[in-house]
Amino acid sequence: MADIVLGTASSHGPMLGSPADDFLKHAERDLANKAHLDLDGVELTYDALLEKTVPAIADALRPDVISDKVAGCPAGIAHLVETLAEVDRDVIVIIGDGQHEQFLTDNQRAVLIYSGETIENGVLPLPATAPKYWKTARSQ
């Protein structure tokens, strides 16, 4: 029987691959999107969704707070890498939602088992018209 020796988690959002200055560009895209989903699945504009959330969210969206969070990402990932290197493990189980990121429509399985020394994190092809900030975010 196997023993679970470590449990950890990491986001894979644009904060990991974007400089803080690009976050306003991501926000512009969010503002232009008229079909955000609330917790009940109702489509709302960004402003309508923002009205439904807790008032403290405004503090989390301040540029200085976002900049501090972005600046902390490399240290967090380095800590994750160090922790994985130190743990005596035989297997790493990764649970994620890599559909249309790591796994395209020709390889979307409910469970995928991979055996190897490394996992390639390839850059998805984006349209030539994709904005530079989006290419930067998706290139990591």
pLDDT in tens, 73-132: 889 989 999 999 999 888 888 777 666 666 677 777 777 777 888 877 666 778 888 888
In a domain, 27, yes or no: yes
In a domain, 64, yes or no: yes
Give the total number of structural domains in the chain. Answer: 1
Measured between alpha carbons, how far is 54 from 45 in angstroms, rounded to an integer? 16
In a domain, 36, yes or no: yes
In a domain, 52, yes or no: yes
Give the domain extent around 62: 19-138
In a domain, 8, yes or no: no
The pTM assigned to this predicted structure is 0.66
Per DSSP, helices labelled H in the chain are 23-32, 46-52, 57-60, 63-86, 132-138
